[in-house]
Amino acid sequence: MSEQETYNDFKSLCAGYVMGALSAEEQVEFESMLKKASEEDLAFYEGLTEARDELALTADAGLPRDDLFIDILDEISKEPKQAPIIPLWAYRLAAAILLIGTLGLAMFSQQLSGTLDEKVATIEQQSTVITELETELDRRNEMLAILESREVNFVIMAGLDVNPDGYGKVIWDTENQRALLQLANLPQPPEDSDYQLWLIKDDQNPISAGVFNFERPSTDLFFKVEELQESPSDIMNMFAVTLEPKGGVPQPTGDMYLLGQQN
């Protein structure tokens, strides 16, 4: 066997040995060559071993360089006088390098996409919390503004037979015609219904003061009364809460849950 043939045999067997693709006989033959290998052959063996180890960590450590598999094929197929005969496992080696690189890129893309989705979700959650806090702050500022008014009336509403544990309060700024409604211990209204607040002055027909809804019952529900554009009667003022069809009605039709009179 010539020196050139031995050189090519070493490199051909080396790639198969590193990838675990040799037969038992070829493995014994290569290990014998390895013991007598030149510095150049040893450098080639160590280079392939490092490349294999790097590929095992491709998904985390980055992709192998694009021309790595081409260099390997060039090295194992060098023969000066005839067309190179490349063994099947060599093609498999090149294909494996490409496949691992592609999978590594796909995994990296998925990880990046997941990270971006998490950041977007976090930003959206923070935005929702900020909006809720701003709404709560506005509500409290409105309540303080009403309480600071010179003409403030408190009307306590008690629960009736349909819901005796219910409780309500109207904080009425009669001078500026604005009010806050507090509700407690009322059941969540059905999907097709709303609670409706009514002002009853003297013996007149009830006057709608707005509709209200909530998803979860609570002992502390506050609503701004937007539609109470009325001055109080000098004789009698009563407030009531009824359950009505969604969006409210011109006059009460449903069960009355709360009722109270201004003292």
Residue 97 has a pLDDT of 52
Helices of type H across the chain: 3-18, 24-35, 39-56, 58-61, 68-76, 88-147
Residue 44 has a pLDDT of 79
Residue 263's nearest CA partner among 183, 155, 168 is 155
Instruction: Spell out a b/e string for 54-65, using b for 16 or more CB atoms within 10 Å of the CB, else e.
Output: bbeebbeeebbe
Residue 121 has a pLDDT of 64
Show pLDDT as tens, one digit a residue, over the chain (263 residues).
Answer: 444 444 446 777 777 777 676 778 888 888 888 888 888 888 878 877 776 665 555 444 444 454 554 555 555 455 444 444 455 445 445 545 554 555 455 555 555 566 656 656 676 676 776 777 777 777 777 777 777 777 778 899 999 999 999 999 998 888 888 888 989 999 999 999 999 999 999 989 999 999 999 887 666 688 888 778 888 888 899 999 999 999 999 999 999 999 999 87
Q: Which tokens in the block code for residue 195?
A: 């609670």
pTM above 0.75, yes or no: no
Query: In whole angstroms, what is the distance from residue 15 CA to residue 89 CA?
Result: 9
Q: What is the CATH number of domain 152-261?
A: 2.60.40
Residue 81 has a pLDDT of 44
What stretch(es) of the chain map to CATH 2.60.40? 152-261
